Amino acid sequence: MLNSARAIGLRAWQTGPLFRKAFLAAVESVQEVLRAEVQKGNAKIVADFLVDKAAPAVKALLLERMTVRLLARLGLRGALASNVAGWILPFVLEKVVQLVMKTEAAAKLKQHPSVTNVRRTLDELKNRLRRAVAPDFGSGAEEVDLYVTELPAASPPPAADTQLTGL
């Protein structure tokens, strides 16, 4: 960002207020979109979005709305606008989700049976995948695949002219 600021003639001390303005605009945009969805009666969708359980189409739609609001607030256009939005929006969303996860409502949501079952299943899948990719990580041992029915054919012995003799 500093190089971009220099390219448009800003000094280092001028970028701090611009960053704060962009960050606050992003926070307001995120909150505005999420509040609007709750007011429409989509509180479940917002809760799913904040705990990363929402469907991909829902995530894409909410992120698009947040981006549009952010770009309108910043008053930027074109490639610069999309670069700024693509850079700052994920950072703001991460901070918002961290704050939400600290609330009592999020703790209750995590304790809900369906959420704990999904989390347990995801942990189990993660462990199975890790064992499949690196069965005995760190030991240097390799796991023989029990499902291979035949071994690969042995390579033919090297030709006589390629062997080194007399060494």
What is the per-residue DSSP string for 84-146?
HHHHHHHHHHHHHHHHHHTSHHHHHHHHSHHHHHHHHHHHHHHHHHHHHHSTTTTT---PPPT
Whether 149 is in a domain gets the answer no
At 8-64, the pLDDT tens digits run 555 555 556 667 777 778 888 888 888 898 899 888 888 888 777 778 888 888 888
At 74-123, the pLDDT tens digits run 776 766 666 767 777 777 777 777 777 777 777 776 676 666 676 677 77
Average pLDDT over residues 143-165: 49
Residues 67 and 86 in one domain: yes
Residues 132 and 83 in one domain: no
Instruction: Give the pLDDT score at 133.
Output: 62
Instruction: Give the pLDDT score at 146.
Output: 45
| Domain assignment of residue 61, given as a range | 2-102
What letter would DSSP give residue 150? S
Measure Cα distances from 126 to 76, 100, 135, 146 in Å: 41, 25, 13, 21
Give the pLDDT band of residue 139 (cuts 50, 70, 90).
low
Report the C-alpha gap between 47 and 131 in whole angstroms: 32
Whether 108 is in a domain gets the answer yes
Whether 144 is in a domain gets the answer no
Q: End of a domain among 59, 75, 102?
A: 102
Residues 76 and 116 in one domain: no
Of 80, 73, 67, which is closest to residue 7 (Cα–Cα)? 80
Task: Yes or no: say if 46 and 34 are a contact pair by the CB < 8 Å rule.
Answer: yes
Residues 97 and 24 in one domain: yes
Residues 38 and 51 in one domain: yes
Instruction: Give the pLDDT score at 121.
Output: 75
Average pLDDT over residues 125-129: 71
Residues 15 and 52 in one domain: yes
Residues 55 and 29 in one domain: yes
Whether 156 is in a domain gets the answer no
Angle CA 12–30–50, to nearest 5: 120
First to last CA, the chain: 62
Whether 71 is in a domain gets the answer yes
Residues 92 and 111 in one domain: no
Query: For the chain, how many structural domains are there in total?
Result: 2
Whether 145 is in a domain gets the answer no
4 has pLDDT over 60: no
Instruction: Give the pLDDT score at 143.
Output: 47
Residues 6 and 86 in one domain: yes
Instruction: Give the pLDDT score at 116.
Output: 66
Whether 37 is in a domain gets the answer yes
147 has pLDDT over 60: no
Residues 52 and 96 in one domain: yes
Residues 27 and 68 in one domain: yes
Of 79, 78, 103, 90, which is closest to residue 29 (Cα–Cα)? 90
Of 83, 77, 74, 61, which is closest to residue 28 (Cα–Cα)? 74
Residues 119 and 90 in one domain: no
